[in-house]
Amino acid sequence: MEIATQKKEIIDWILSIEDQAVLNEIEMLKTQSSFDFDEEFNKGLSVEQFRKAIKERIKSYDWKR
């Protein structure tokens, strides 16, 4: 895909966004000078937290066993 086409698709997508939280995230990406992987990694869930969250999510599904 050409760069111009990609840019057009991204612009169209951004214009269609109505969620203010998403727009704020995009604005943060725009103003961010660099990405600190270690800092972002430290903000993430631990393995135990992730497993607990997934188990709770699965239990909350409305399905028949």
pLDDT class of 10 with cuts at 50, 70, 90: very high
Q: Do 23 and 17 form a contact (C-beta atoms < 8 A)?
A: yes
The answer to the question of residue 40 being in a domain is yes
What pLDDT does residue 65 have?
A: 62
Query: Looking at the domain assignment, is residue 24 inside a domain?
Result: yes
Q: Give the chain's mean pLDDT.
A: 90
Kindly state whether residue 43 falls inside one of the protein's structural domains. yes
4 within a domain of the structure (yes/no): yes
Domain count, the chain: 1
Any residues with CB less than 8 A from the CB of 14 and at least 6 apart, and which? 26
Asked if residue 47 is part of any domain, the answer here is yes
Is residue 62 pLDDT above 90, yes or no?
A: no
Lowest mean pLDDT among 14-18, 30-34, 55-59: 30-34
Residue 2 lies in a domain: yes
14 in Cβ contact with 26 (< 8 Å): yes
Domain membership flag for residue 65: no
Instruction: Judge whether 49 lies within some domain.
Output: yes
Domain that holds residue 16: 1-60
Which run of H or of E encompasses 6?
helix 3-16
Looking at 12-55, which runs of residues are DSSP E strands?
Answer: none
**What is residue 31's predicted lDDT score, i.e. its pLDDT?**
86
Q: pTM here?
A: 0.43
